[in-house]
Chains A and B, each alone.
Chain A
Amino acid sequence: MILLSTGFAVFLAAVLVLAFLAPPRIKPAVLLAASFFFYGFFRLSFLLLLLIQIVFVYVCARGMGKCVGLKRKSVLLLSLLGVLGPLFVLKYLNFIIRSVVSLFSSTTSEKPLAWLGLILPVGISFYTFKSLSYLLEVYHGRLAIEKNPIRLGLYISFFPQILAGPIDRARNFLSQLPSAIVFNPAHLSAGLKLVAWGLFKKIVVADQLARYVNVVFDRPQDFQGLGLLAGLIFYSFQIYCDFSGYSDMAVGLAKTMGLDTMDNFHYPYFSRSIAEFWGRWHISLSSWLRDYLFLPMAYALSRKIKAERFLLIKTEFYVYGSAMGITMLLCGLWHGASWTFVLWGGLHGFYLIVSRATKKARSGWLNRLHLRKNNVFLIGWRMLSTFSLVSLAWVFFRSPSLGQAWLYLRNISFRLPRSGIGQLLYLGSLLFIFIIADALMMSKDKIRFLKNIPVPVQAMVWALFLCLIIILAADTSNEFLYFQF
């Protein structure tokens, strides 16, 4: 089922009515049935795999509850293998075989296991990470075992989140069931507004930018100068609007049902450092990686290393660097089985490590220059430099190969474009309006004027906004970028 279709709107309306009218005990079952129906629409085999995973996770978690010590750890390992197995086979096996074969031979097939006819199920990375989160929380005793398979099934397969997140935490989601699922006009209206805002981000801003971005990224060898730099800036906003647009819609849809899910984006391009960027970008994934990968790895390493310094550098830095490096490389790999994603993750890891290593020195410089941290110019400079570093890394994320990425970067120059200025101006203006709107959204709680607008005026503004979405929605039928992950 396509998310941006009237079919989905009818489906949603039916689900809302049924969920609101159903008795409290039945509500999760209604939403679970709706989620299966929605996911099964893509392919029945995908649904079957999801069902198997839900049953497996349920059984493993119950099994863990009955064991202690080493046995409990064994069950956890078995469950992790079972949950990660399908993701590994369907997403990474081709890549690994291809990479190994390419070490020994100059010709390798793009998909060595194509004869198996394996297709990557949509959303598998997202629901696998949800399952892992649940199992790890249960193992560490931070979450009670869910005895009701329907509630657990709903957590893993909840339809607004299954395709591209957010990777919500079980504790947050399960604690709201079923009491939160009630008709509340305020929730309904807030949720629908968020959906409309997400829709605008996706089909107006992201898809309009895609028209330029696709041209320059598909043939970087044919373009030059500032046009390529503009393409890079446009792509940074395209991916942000595309993914955060979907996330807004997912959060908004859950909100219409009365469920609060975790935010996935918090105006990341207003970040003043790479570390802050990762606290605002794809929050559900970055916090997942922090909690289940980075911190356990860092603790394990620091327990192993007893010395305080090694080669005059604090061992704490080695621990941070290695844990962060591995986490970010895996973060890149999570996005896709390709060296471009690995390099993208690696580059972010490098930024974070360098940032950590130079933190003291930078503070010292600021003190010497008598610059305070809230200096407007300093804030502007830090935002701009963070955005530039993030955008630079996006080249690897977007390009189909490392060669293409290099070609793209090599052709960027500050030469003024001889043509296409009209397109640049149009998209630049659209982006400018969007950035202003995004900044307003960021500080909407602080602006009193926005809170006291009478209902009819609010309604008029939203009506005008809806009309503008219809007019400006790009005719590209672009799928959400993050569905491929």
Chain B
Amino acid sequence: MAGQDIQTIKIKKFIWGSLCLAVSFFLFDRLLFLALRFGATQYYASLKVQEFPWRKPAGAGIGQILILGTSRSNFGFDDDVLSAALNKKVYKEARAGCYPQYHYYFYRKYKKIFRPPSLVIYGLDYFIFENDSSDLNLVRLEENVFRERMNPRRAVNPASPWLSRVSWLYRLKPKTDEWLADLWNSLGKPDEREESAAKDSSPRHALPRLRRGRQRGMPREVIVEKPLSWDKRFYNTFPGKEGPFLDRLLGDLDGDGVAVFLVFLPDYIGSNETNFEQEKFKKDISRLATRHHKVHIIDFNTPEKFDLNDFDLYWNGGWGVTNCHLDDKGARLFTGQLAREIRKILKAGQTENKPSNP
């Protein structure tokens, strides 16, 4: 009897403790979230004081080509080759962590600074609808975007939609992580030896890599031996995270009468076999393009158009690597072929590569 009483008391205590834990968790979760959001907003607002780093377009010629994309486009398109082949200046805005939302805001700013370009080349990535643009880049273009992104009502943490319902902190954990990572990077990096630090900051390593998409001096990292098994990457379908912004960007370009070339960049064969749902990806892009005029799709990620087996043309990639980049040689070859294709399309004014036949 006494034992039973003790057990009942223990259970009651446990239930009472659990209830207190649940209520406290609910309150702390909301309060800490609001505090974090305030801190993050303040942090990014302080970055806004820096002016957007506009650059001088590369090359010479009449009119301007605007290249948009991620690091793959940065590495893949050779500005000089393109400029010489099409006789136009080239402005490239392609960097890691920049996806359609970034490009959409960028274009709005760009046309105010310059004017609508003659044509836009948009480098497509298999994971284009999978990721968010980085906040650090985005806040330089659009002031209120971070607050919008930290709105708990719309957010879901894909790692666990169930836990997302319980906790705001967990729901916006990816955003918090991004902020904390930016803070972490702002703390500097470990003390490097003078030779290594000098190597990183030399002009050969710094500017050209970003501006011209070169990767001279970086070791090649292509996995050329096919393993027995490797991680395959599912395709994240449109609209995904930022798909609607691509649609809006194409709409704006349509309105400005700009010809757009959506380009599938070549991937090394190993990366192609990793990104195994290419057909779905191409269909999505094709469907998106049909909604707009003057949008052309050029697919270089096929063996008919480009050598996908020659590892000498790639800087990285391979089985298990989803994010593949061309190297200098590959970029020159690819951009030359692309320029010829664009010239042909522009000259003919034909629609043989219209989205219906990607």
Q: Which residues of A contact B (CB under 8 A)?
A: 5-6, 117, 184-186, 188-189, 211-212, 215-216, 219, 221-227, 231, 411, 417-423, 426, 455-456, 458-460, 462-464, 466-467, 470-471, 473, 475
Contacts and interface: CB of A to CB of B under 8 A. Distances in A.
Contacts of A417: 190-191
A455 B16 contact: yes
Contact of B187 (A224, A423, A464, A473): A423
B20 A222 contact: no
Contacts of B18: 459
Nearest to A6: B160
B192 A455 contact: no
Nearest to B16: A455
B187 A467 contact: no
B191 A224 contact: yes
Contacts of B114: none
A225 B160 contact: no
Contact of A463 (B21, B159, B187, B196): B21
Given A467-B25, A475-B181, 20 more contacts: A6-B160, A184-B10, A186-B10, A216-B190, A221-B193, A223-B192, A224-B193, A420-B189, A422-B187, A423-B188, A455-B13, A456-B24, A459-B17, A459-B18, A463-B21, A463-B27, A467-B28, A470-B29, A470-B173, A473-B173
A185 B14 contact: yes
Contacts of A418: 191
A462 B24 CA distance: 9
Contacts of B176: 471
A5 B177 CA distance: 18
A430 to B, nearest CB: 12
A227 B24 contact: no
A423 B184 CA distance: 7
B167 interface: yes
A369 B201 CA distance: 55
B191 A471 contact: no
Contacts of A223: 190-193, 196
Contacts of A222: 192-193, 196
17 contacts: A117-B228, A185-B13, A189-B14, A221-B193, A224-B191, A421-B188, A455-B13, A455-B17, A456-B16, A456-B17, A459-B17, A460-B28, A463-B21, A463-B27, A464-B28, A470-B167, A471-B36
B82 interface: no
A419 B170 contact: no
A346 to B, nearest CB: 30
B162 interface: yes
B24 A212 contact: no
B196 A420 contact: no
B345 interface: no
Nearest to B193: A224
What's the interface size class on B, roughly?
A: 35 or more
B21 A462 contact: yes
A475 to B, nearest CB: 4
Contacts of A426: 184, 187
B163 interface: yes
Contact of A467 (B32, B190, B196): B32
B2 to A, nearest CB: 17
Interface string B156-194: 000110110001011001101100110010111111110
A467 B191 contact: no
Contacts of B206: none
A456 B23 CA distance: 10
Interface of B: 10-11, 13-14, 16-18, 20-21, 24-25, 27-29, 32, 36, 159-160, 162-163, 167, 169-170, 173-174, 176-177, 180-181, 184, 186-193, 196, 228
A420 B170 contact: no
B115 to A, nearest CB: 40
Contacts of A216: 190
Contacts of B177: 475
A426 B188 CA distance: 11
A459 B29 CA distance: 14
A216 B191 CA distance: 9
Contacts, number: 112
Nearest to B35: A471
A459 B13 CA distance: 11
List the 10 closest pairs (A to B, CB-CB), nearest first.
Answer: A422-B187, A185-B14, A459-B20, A417-B191, A463-B24, A475-B177, A222-B196, A463-B25, A227-B191, A459-B21
Nearest to B11: A185
A6 B28 contact: no
Given A455-B16, A459-B21, A463-B24, A470 B10 contact: no
Contacts of A411: 193
Contacts of B167: 470
Most interface-central of A215, A231, A417, A456 (chain B CB within 10 A): A456
Contacts of B170: 470
Nearest to A186: B10
B193 A464 contact: no
B320 to A, nearest CB: 15
Contact of A420 (B10, B20, B162, B191): B191
B281 to A, nearest CB: 25
A219 B195 CA distance: 13
Contact of A185 (B10, B180, B193): B10
Contact of A460 (B20, B159, B184): B20
A184 B176 CA distance: 37
A335 to B, nearest CB: 25
Contacts of A466: 25
A423 B169 CA distance: 24
Contacts of A462: 21, 24
A215 B189 CA distance: 9
B163 A420 contact: no
Most interface-central of A5, A420, A470 (chain B CB within 10 A): A470
A411 B28 CA distance: 45
B184 A470 contact: no
B81 to A, nearest CB: 34
A471 B32 contact: yes
A464 B29 CA distance: 8
Contacts of A473: 173
B189 to A, nearest CB: 5
Contacts of B169: 467, 470-471
A11 to B, nearest CB: 14
Contacts of B173: 470, 473
A117 B190 CA distance: 39
Contact of B191 (A117, A185, A419, A458): A419
Contacts of B13: 185, 455
Contacts of B188: 419-423
B242 to A, nearest CB: 20
A426 to B, nearest CB: 6
A464 B191 contact: no
Contact of A211 (B11, B32, B184): B184
Nearest to A422: B187
A206 B121 CA distance: 44
Contact of A215 (B24, B187, B190, B228): B190
A29 to B, nearest CB: 26
Contacts of A221: 193, 196
A5 to B, nearest CB: 8
Nearest to B163: A6
B5 to A, nearest CB: 14
A223 B29 CA distance: 40
Contacts of A188: 14
